[in-house]
Structure 1
Amino acid sequence: MKTRLLRLLHLAHRWLGIASGLLILAWFVSGLVMLYVPFPKLDTEARVARLAALQPDSLAVSPARAAEACPTPARGARLAMALGRPVYHFSGGETACSVWADSGEALVVTPELARAVAQAFLPGARLGEIEAIERDQWTVYSTYRPHRPLLRIPVDDAAGSVVYVSSRSGEVVALTTRFERGWSWLGTVPHWFYFTALRGDDTSLWRRLVLWLPPLALLTVLAGLALGLQRLRLRRRYPRGRVTPYQGLKRWHHLLGLGIGGFALTWLLSGWLSNHPFGLLEFSGLPKGAAQRLAGTPFRPPSDLALLKHQLAAAPGGREAEWYRFDGRHYLEVRGSDGSRRLDDQARPAGPIPPATLAALIAAIEGKPVARAELIHEADLYHYGRRNPVVLPAVRIRLADAEDTTWYLDPANGRVLGRVDAANRLHRWVFNGLHRLDFPPLGALPALREGLITLLCLLGAGLATSGCVLGGRRLLRRPSGN
């Protein structure tokens, strides 16, 4: 009976490995690439740095009046410059809506305007032909939906850049380079199946793939670990003192499996769980209505043009201004090359929000007492940055409940940076801990952590490669009795 079970396990590992070997290899290689090259993204700091300085004197229309030109009510607004003219960018509808702030007319994105905007974003660059697209490989995220169709413009430069202009707002919303695209084909795209055909409006096939393919790989690794341990002999060794009965490539596959198999198992498991299959490892979101309670009032485009000009004059050199709300009041954040400045509805500098104020609001939202509210100046285990810098100082609010629910908020504007309860702590340790080796003391030693991940991924790729070669040899063999 034992011999028969071992034989079945052996056959299962062989054929599961043949079916999933290339997939496992791709995950190891792509995970290594992702460690060093992220998916192309145009972040706020890089985008704002290329904008022209705001010109308060050119404003002739208030945000409230300009918003009347949009088909749906605005839930947010920004002010920037485009081709020497001020423009309001409103958000909240199915599609983005932008209105000229010097005339109150809706901005209409023509090919000529899109080309001029791209030229201003990349001065001196030689632009190619404009192509209207719904999405391509680098714009699959749903965040681009309000701006579709996108106007894709290749750039004849050394970096092989491609710039994407929104057909709704006329803004540059994405910028990629040949380097980013090339490495992402080996990194994020295969790792997360971010292929254009799978990430369109209908993502049901993509969801099925990320639900069922990882278990296939998990079974392969489990069977291999079981066989590897069964064939390992540390005391009664095989002839010539060997711990493995195999030779050649099989020997290396066996030893690599014993050395890296446990990591492969936890890596595959944590990666699969990050997609919350069957409701497992799901996040806990903010309590219903929390954002509205913190804001204290619905967004209303300001109607006081004189106040807006006064606010902008108090923050000279700004390149973009955005309205936000906190505790019933509207504020303006003005971003520039030297950082951000926040002004209240009297054009005065907005000071930081005291932890006690934030604590009172959180207690009302949660319906639970606050155990401790404090201003932290260093990252902790649940509020920290890796690729992106962490927001500090931050207000940390611990509630007096069984789950030790903890909120992190930005004292500059009251924005929620995170909320951690039992479910989110579990996700942090299962995914960030197991999948990214993001746990003490490695979390505080980034060079050592990245070096260890690189080594483990290379060993994992070696294990998968040897399995693929062995599987290929087996398929090319002439049929025998088994």
Structure 2
Amino acid sequence: MSLKRWLYLLHRWAGIALCLVMALWFLSGMVMLYVGYPKLTAEEQAAGLPPLALEQCCVPLAEAVAAAGGPQAAPAPWRLSSVAGEPRYLFGDGRRAALAVDARSGQRIRAVSEAQALTAASHFAGGVAAEPLGRVQEDAWTHSRALDAHRPLYRVAVADEAQRWLYVSSVTGEVVRDATLTERRWGWLGAWLHWLYIFRGGALDAAWTQIVIWLSVAGGVLALSGLVVGIWRWRFSGRYKSGSRSPYREGWMRWHHLLGLVGGSLALTWVLSGLFSMNPWKVFEAPGPAPDRRAYAGGTLQAQAGPEAAPVLAALAARGEAAPRWLEWRRVDGQQFLLAQGPTGGRALAGDGTTRPPWSEAALVQAAQRLLPEAPLEAREWLHEYDRYYYGREHHTMTGQRERPLPVLRLRFDDPQAHWATLDPATGAILQLSNRHQRVERWLFAFLHSFDLPILLAARPAWDAWMLGFSAAGLALCLSGVVLGWRRLSGPRRPVARAQSGRRL
């Protein structure tokens, strides 16, 4: 059997097995352009929390850290927020650990009841009616590993305009995720379907990553074999006896051939870029030492180093300034300070409650050189607008929750992995760390999957038309494959004269 015949058979049977999956990927991707997987953004969190109350607040930070079990048991970040209007110290990132201490009594929160979760959710939603929906370990909208330390979660339905489900931590009592009715309805056809979450949270949960990777590999084989076969069957010079350059005269076969020639390369790049999003076989992990964030901070957070929350809140109140929604202790280059988060963003505060002046370029460079002490600094540049590596996305997208303020300082290191660090002078935060492997991933995944160059994202609705048109072409290609596969499996085979239509795939 010739190589061509083998390739025809490979494409035919791979299409029968995978065309429906590919069609659903294209369809769900179109939904995800506008409705993403539920997440609780900083803006949504700030909108649901009241200003921090000064009354009887707060026990000293060192006392709260001791109640949590000491610095080793209370990993960063450290925050002062509120639950149902009551001030509460919160420790940990939710992935590795989560702890809470009552900021008025200094007592550690050992457990959160359903009644307490219901009160917290109602308060977060503005006092509207709330209905408990039970306690869940994990459901369709809470697969994120960032919620692991908060599980199990209380699920509460609130009667607000968006008809949200709020998920409340059973460990700290805070609202850690919201899912609107729109996100839940469209999510089944969007993110849940696109990311094959049918395999998450059940017996196949441990195999989910490999399932996605190998289905993507198989989809790539299907698209590549179809592209090669389609080109082989196209008459670039001369025509078939029918007068057409395509050998296929029957409607579905002809449309499948033509759509494959037009959109096959896009389908191939799209499914392969989806594969690269999974970092298959760790291909984008760089060897060698990783940048040392703790060294950049100048050590771990120190409870005795302050600043204390109560004097800061009192100073803000004395000047008539609005209290923040939460305070977070930060450390940069050995200097500890508070980040105050308000409805419109955060600002760095000194111990007296005044806005801390921005870090100078020299101070940022000094701190950043500790990230990779053996690597000389190769270049530095200020970004006053987004570029192809540093840019913002809409909140519903995968990376939409990331902070992307301007201006920022980008530093390039002359180390084997060519690390770049992007720093925020207003808060001293490391906004982005990347190496050459990750910058390759940026092109192979983010660009090929969503064409997310800032100049393209700004050209809306042209970007929408391109993404929807390309996705619709891929969907039509795959649906035509579904029809042909169904006919192959269910209908009687009818011989087709080669002189009229060529060999069938």
The alignment's TM-score, normalised by the length of structure 2, stands at 0.88
Unaligned runs of 5+ in 1: none
| CA–CA distance in structure 2, aligned partners of residues 278 and 83 of structure 1 | 44
2:467 is matched with which residue? 453
| CA–CA distance in structure 2, aligned partners of residues 208 and 250 of structure 1 | 33
| CA–CA distance in structure 1, aligned partners of residues 353 and 224 of structure 2 | 63
Where has structure 1 moved over 6 Å in runs of 4 or more? 479-482
Match of 2:27 among 26, 29, 35: 29
The answer to whether the aligner puts 1:278 opposite 2:281 as a matched pair is yes
Distance 1:219 1:371, change over 3 A: closer
1:175 deviation in Å? 1.2
Unaligned runs of 5+ in 2: 395-399, 496-503
SS of equivalent to 1:414? coil
Match of 1:111 among 103, 111, 114: 114
1:357 is matched with which residue? 363
1:209 is matched with which residue? 211
Match of 2:46 among 48, 55, 60: 48
1:408 deviation in Å? 0.6
AA partner of residue 352 (structure 1): P
1:443 deviation in Å? 4.7
| 1:79-228 pair list within 5 angstroms | 79-91=80-92, 94-107=96-109, 108-156=111-159, 159-195=162-198, 197-199=199-201, 203-228=205-230
| CA–CA distance in structure 1, aligned partners of residues 17 and 290 of structure 2 | 44
1:126 deviation in Å? 2.6
1:330 deviation in Å? 1.1
AA partner of residue 399 (structure 1): F
Moved more, 219-228 or 310-319: 310-319
The alignment's TM-score, normalised by the length of structure 1, stands at 0.92
AA partner of residue 158 (structure 2): V
1:373 is matched with which residue? 380
**Superposed CA offset, 1:180-214 (max 9, x none):** 0121111111211223x524698431022022111
Distance 1:420 1:163, change over 3 A: closer
| CA–CA distance in structure 1, aligned partners of residues 27 and 180 of structure 2 | 21
Moved more, 223-232 or 198-207: 198-207
Match of 1:235 among 234, 237, 240: 237
| CA–CA distance in structure 1, aligned partners of residues 204 and 162 of structure 2 | 33
Distance 1:7 1:338, change over 3 A: closer
1:40 deviation in Å? 0.8
| CA–CA distance in structure 2, aligned partners of residues 182 and 421 of structure 1 | 38
SS of equivalent to 1:57? coil
Moved more, 136-145 or 205-214: 205-214
SS of equivalent to 2:254? helix
**Superposed CA offset, 1:309-359 (max 9, x none):** 222234432121111111112111111224323112454421111122222
2:430 is matched with which residue? 416
Distance 1:162 1:355, change over 3 A: same
| CA–CA distance in structure 1, aligned partners of residues 347 and 287 of structure 2 | 29
Moved more, 337-346 or 416-425: 337-346
| CA–CA distance in structure 1, aligned partners of residues 455 and 100 of structure 2 | 48
**Superposed CA offset, 1:237-270 (max 9, x none):** 1235311111211111100000000111111112
Distance 1:144 1:441, change over 3 A: closer
1:287 deviation in Å? 4.7
SS of equivalent to 2:303? coil
| CA–CA distance in structure 1, aligned partners of residues 391 and 125 of structure 2 | 33
What is the CA RMSD across the aligned residues, in angstroms?
2.5
1:330 is matched with which residue? 336
Q: How many residues align?
A: 477
SS of equivalent to 1:241? coil
1:124 deviation in Å? 4.6
> Is contact 2:121-2:158 (8 Å) kept?
no
SS of equivalent to 1:7? helix
SS of equivalent to 1:365? coil
SS of equivalent to 2:197? coil
Identity of aligned residues (%): 36
